[in-house]
Structure 1
Amino acid sequence: MSPKPPAEEIDVDGIPVRLTSPDKTYYPELGEQGSKRAVVEHYRLVAPALLNALRERPTYLQRFPDGIEGEEVYQKRVPKFAPDYVDTVHVTFPSGRSADAIRPTNTATVVWGAQQAAITFHPWHCTAPDVDHPDEFRVDLDPQPGTGFEQAKRVARDVLHPLLTELGYEGFVKTSGGRGVHVFVTIEPRWTFTEVRRAVIALAREVERRAEGLVSSAWWKEERGETVFVDYNQNARDRTMASAYSLRRTPRATVSTPLTWAELGSDVDPDDFTLATFPERFAAVGDLWAERRSTLHSLEPLLALADRDDGNGLGDLPYPPTYPKMPGEPKRVQPSRARKDPTPPDP
């Protein structure tokens, strides 16, 4: 057995960061181009832009200590061995339990995360110190079986974008790194997670109405069919989405890449943006989300839609199964099961 290579020390903006096993393979299909060192260099390259997406946000690490084909560790809590330059923030989970999460404030924290085998960074949609009031809402266009990126792209371009403009919102769009499309909108941090989620349910329903059968807001998979699902629950407390500029767990090492709205009208493909190709892209366009926080929007136009839906008998929708039963939530039971047992017990 060959000896383990010695650890290196990288200077990251004046902070020494220890790098162990830099030649370890994270992306097997890429060979040497998919090493830990390559991942670290990606995050050093995009750090200023990535920090725009992560700064001061409770952030989870999606880690793959043995590479993307190995076991996944979804790390919510700051480990005891984290260095002093890794800042933290206290968060409360839906269960009522709480913990200290990573709060990125510097490039060294991002590089340290990559050293810990973090492939993807997952930030909350709020910033410290006020982690109870989101400062953005997120629209996750998730293609269901039988649909793909082309359908998600069409929904974003032809339905969601015009609707956001009509409501007075400026949305920022990116690839998920897979088949989906993500759109983020910055808001004033005045509303609770419950209120933001309710607003996005109203948005999802309006997109569904305008998309002529291509979109579903149904939580249960059996009701969605071949549609693009608008995952409104991504706006609940403790739910996260991959940050812009994060790598993803795909064989090609795709990057969740900010786009212009005009690019959704082209033949853009999420597989175009990878660990290997992204440096050229980044050099050409820079940080397309640099101005994302320049305007803080009100949630009131969407809450007005929610009030209208309530008046038409459209109330809340189910939460994920790991959440406690929420006030006003319908029974959390699959429709097919409900048909067999019309009075199932609450979970």
Structure 2
Amino acid sequence: MLPFLEDRLLTVIRYPHGMFGEAFYQKNVPDYAPDFVETSNSEGIEYIVCNNMKTLLWLGNQIAIEFHIPFQTISSKGPDEIVFDLDPPSRDHFHLAIKAAVYIKEVLDELKLISFIKTSGNKGLQVYIPLPDNTYTYDDTRLFTAFIANYLVSKYPESFTIERLKKNRGDRLYIDYIQHAEGKTIVSPYSARGKSHAGVATPLFWEEVNENLKIEDFHLGTIIQRVQRLGCPFRTYFAAKAEQNFEPVLNVLKAKKS
């Protein structure tokens, strides 16, 4: 978890009364935080920045179960990654998240973009495209996320939607491209989730993303053994940022817009 939390404003969800009790979001660092807990101020909020193992363990002792982070670091001027959140209406429709992820991967491969994928830890999948630091704006990335989302919806309208209102989605999977914006957050890789199956937002290998993939298999009881056995599918994530060739794709989209 630590490489993905490093230098990012952290929002946690704490469960002081257990999973079935009342939980709450925490953004501001509490007054009683020990000195080794680093912080960073943004818009009047003194956020925790989890840059060391001591802080991670302390947060665990605070019963912080979920770790949510923005798409940029405290030193970034813009996003250093694009994330597609593939959110099916229920776990019974997880096959739609698999379908969407496979189609997105086909497009990204055609565009020669490096991508990674993880479970959300709940009922969906999340596709990541690492970007070089301090290079692109959220307006740039919105052009791309909107393009991919609209492409999928136009090709498979019976399966996918960009409809914001849940009541209008039916049984279609919601492709949330608006959530990728400044100030928004997404669950960190390897974060647990406060759900009944104790899910973990688990990095996957792309070859695992097929009809045999089951969201229930990735939980606190299996994740450590999985990493020990297979290694981390995101181990080349940060190296990929320098190799990513996003500029030609963005230039085409900008030309179409103008």
Report the TM-score when normalising by structure 2: 0.90
Question: How many percent identity over aligned positions?
Answer: 31
| 1:221 equivalent in alignment to 2:166 | yes
- Write the distance in 1 (CA, Å) between the matches of 2:95 and 2:173: 10
Partner residue in 2 for 1:207:
152
Matched residue type, 1:164 = L
SS of the residue aligned with 1:120?
strand
Partner residue in 2 for 1:103:
49
60, 68, 85: which is aligned to 1:140?
A: 85
- Write the distance in 1 (CA, Å) between the matches of 2:213 and 2:205: 11
Partner residue in 1 for 2:128:
184
SS of the residue aligned with 2:224?
helix
- Write the distance in 2 (CA, Å) between the matches of 1:237 and 1:78: 21
Residue-pair matches, total: 254
Partner residue in 2 for 1:161:
105
Cα distance change, pair 227–147 in 1 and its aligned pair in 2 (3 A): farther
- Write the distance in 1 (CA, Å) between the matches of 2:72 and 2:17: 31
| 1:246 equivalent in alignment to 2:176 | no
Matched residue type, 1:263 = E
Question: Which stretch of structure 1 is more off in the superposition, 226-235 or 184-193?
Answer: 184-193
Residue 154 (structure 1) shift? 1.5
- Write the distance in 1 (CA, Å) between the matches of 2:65 and 2:233: 21
The question of whether the paired residues in 2 share the 8 Å contact of 1:248 and 1:256 is answered with: yes
Matched residue type, 2:40 = V
- Write the distance in 2 (CA, Å) between the matches of 1:147 and 1:211: 19
Partner residue in 1 for 2:16:
65
| 1:271 equivalent in alignment to 2:219 | no
CA deviation string 1:42-71 (max 9, x = no partner): xxxxxxxx1121111111111111111111
- Write the distance in 1 (CA, Å) between the matches of 2:89 and 2:197: 21
CA deviation string 1:6-52 (max 9, x = no partner): xxxxxxxxxxxxxxxxxxxxxxxxxxxxxxxxxxxxxxxxxxxx112
Structure 2 gap ranges (5+): none
CA deviation string 1:229-269 (max 9, x = no partner): 11112211221111111111111211111111110125121
Residue 146 (structure 1) shift? 9.1
Residue 307 (structure 1) shift? 5.4
Please say which structure displays the higher CA radius of gyration. 1
- Write the distance in 1 (CA, Å) between the matches of 2:48 and 2:143: 27
Mapping of residues 310-329 of structure 1, within 5 Å:
310=257
Which structure 1 residue ranges, 4+ long, deviate > 6 Å from structure 2?
Answer: none
Partner residue in 1 for 2:225:
280
Partner residue in 2 for 1:89:
40
60, 66, 70: which is aligned to 1:124?
A: 70
SS of the residue aligned with 1:268?
coil
Cα distance change, pair 229–305 in 1 and its aligned pair in 2 (3 A): farther
| 1:234 equivalent in alignment to 2:142 | no
- Write the distance in 1 (CA, Å) between the matches of 2:166 and 2:254: 23
Residue 199 (structure 1) shift? 2.9
Residue 115 (structure 1) shift? 0.9
Cα distance change, pair 303–208 in 1 and its aligned pair in 2 (3 A): farther
The question of whether the paired residues in 2 share the 8 Å contact of 1:64 and 1:70 is answered with: yes
Residue 147 (structure 1) shift? 5.8
Q: Name which structure has the greater RCO, CA cutoff 8 Å, separation 6+.
A: 2
The question of whether the paired residues in 1 share the 8 Å contact of 2:11 and 2:27 is answered with: yes
SS of the residue aligned with 1:293?
helix
- Write the distance in 1 (CA, Å) between the matches of 2:70 and 2:252: 25
Cα distance change, pair 303–227 in 1 and its aligned pair in 2 (3 A): farther
Report the TM-score when normalising by structure 1: 0.68
Residue 222 (structure 1) shift? 4.0
CA deviation string 1:279-321 (max 9, x = no partner): 221211121111111122354414633653x46xxxxxxxxxx
- Write the distance in 1 (CA, Å) between the matches of 2:170 and 2:107: 23
- Write the distance in 2 (CA, Å) between the matches of 1:222 and 1:73: 26
298, 301, 305: which is aligned to 2:253?
A: 305
The question of whether the paired residues in 1 share the 8 Å contact of 2:117 and 2:204 is answered with: yes
81, 104, 119: which is aligned to 1:175?
A: 119
